[in-house]
Structure 1
Amino acid sequence: MALSAGDVQFIYSVLANSLSADAATRQPAEALLAQCEARQGFCSCLLAIITSRGEESDDDVRLLAAVHLKNCVTRCWRNSVDSPAIDNEEKVYIRKSLLLNMREENGKIALQLAALIARIVYFDYPKEWSDVFSVLAQQLQTSDVFTSYQVSTVLFRSLKKLSKKRLAFDQRNYSEITVYLFDYIWNLWKSNAQIVLQNFSVLSQHNSSLDQSNDLLLIYERWLVCLKIIRELICSGYASDSTTMQEVCQIKEVCPVLLGAIQSILPYYPFFKERQAKPWSHAKRACIKLMKVLIILQDKQIHLLRNFLSSAWFW
């Protein structure tokens, strides 16, 4: 028998009981959850619990619901001899609801949701979820920095998961995604880089530590996530010059800018190290991540970049 919206509170109580320290309460609840997994509507009930944010919703229960939903999708999203598949109507509802509810204050739950969306993208793109990347790109443009940061995390996790597909058809699809996303993500990264560098400049003019606004910290984090997206798009969306003997023009464009960003951050490093611990940590982390991406891109386009990086560091 299928579960419905009327069963959400019942599933919530079962999840809460499965967190109990009392084995007599916990074990029957765990067994009941395992039985419910085979019933249509279970995933929708879990999603309703995850998205019910408020004083009456316990975050531990919501996190457990997110973990169960992720695992249920892994086992039941596709037809299997061992597990009944989730029906198409429920899949449509879940895909739509997930994209409408990416703004999540709880960091652990947000990470589970990002991983969940990435798995569904892996299963359903492009045949069943052809518009997912256009929707993510649109939501990334929101003025709400917190939401934009979380969308960037979902986008990165989805691209990374999708890059594991190795069939020629899948690689062509990935190349099309790269063409669609690259310019916007690259321009967003450059815009955020200017904000990060301006913030470092302001902080360097004070001998004591200043509190940074939450939006600035989120922009910094989004900047680093966009860096990972750029790396993923270039490394998985374009062939290496060692196999095609052709230049990837995006690498020629990106690498000098990344190197320039490192050179712009380095002068702040000793000042922050002596006076301001948090900005020093941010500067150090940024330089390390930028260098790692430069090294990865050098391996991708080794013939083109070997001489460039050598001469750049020499001068």
Structure 2
Amino acid sequence: MILGSSRFPSTTCWIQRVQEPGSGPQPSVAGQGYTNTPGLHSAEQVEAWKPVTEAVHKEGGVIFAQLMHTGRIGHPVLLPDGLVPIGPSAVKAEGKVFTHEGMLDFVEPKEMTEAEIQEAIADFANAARNAIAAGFDGVEIHGANGYLVHQFLSVNANRRTDQWGGSAENRARFALEVAKATVAAIGADKVGIRLSPGAKFNDITDDPDMAATYVPLVEELAGLDLAYLHLMEQADRELTTKLRAAWAGVFILNPDTGFGVPTGPDAIDLVKDGTADMISYGALFLANPDLPERLKARGPFNEPDRTTFYGGTEQGYTDYPALG
């Protein structure tokens, strides 16, 4: 993702996500849950990312890698050496995943041992170091959308009774430890985190009292002085306001616009009224390579071609026209 704010080299108020949800670099082999997704856990991958980051920097951009461990979301056919998806508990998610063998049901994950939890935390930190070596300006911990960090936060994927489950404090422990380890690896100013309280992607269920889970977590994360908090709004604006109040740093908001409705120009008003410092654009930025200019002009906007998402060729990714 490419960022701009007062804490980064640009002075704009937009964030561009250059990858669709479900395609962030995995921090380990076990973290892969989709076909053809990139990683940041090997020397070869570090080298392969360098032309990408160099191209972004050449154009004056700033680029963060979104580290995404899918946890129980995935399938053994996507993993090597007989590995199976892992999660906080052995609870199968309802749904299917696309593989080279077609759509397959999610499987029951292996419940992570204490050693595997510590290994996963270390993997995030190592991937962050690899990201910096590859030329990224920082990383975003993907703690949203029903993937591993969110699975620990949830009440349906996490049935543990040890220090990693049960109470809100225990369920938030994994997210906090991942953030601490990543900060120790590359510095707080190079680490952001994405959260999505209330999101139901990938058969995830948050505690009905989401404020009891997320406000204390955000307060703890704020103490680490991370570069930013990126909130995918899926609950209500009241919770967003509470989380904003708990966060003293840069607050990036992907406002709730309803399923399939891209964030539009009106969302900029949320920066003007102080609801957020920056607004996150995904599909609209994908379809409009000159989105900042189009937002200033209030359009027109190219419509994203969703039939090209999650695979295929450059069609639907790099062939959208710019104004003029």
Q: Same fold (TM over 0.5)?
A: no
TM range (shorter): under 0.3
Higher gyration radius (CA): 1
Q: TM-score, normalized by length of structure 1?
A: 0.28
Q: TM-score, normalized by length of structure 2?
A: 0.27
Q: Whose relative contact order is higher, 1 or 2, with alpha carbons under 8 Å and at least 6 apart?
A: 2
More helix by share: 1
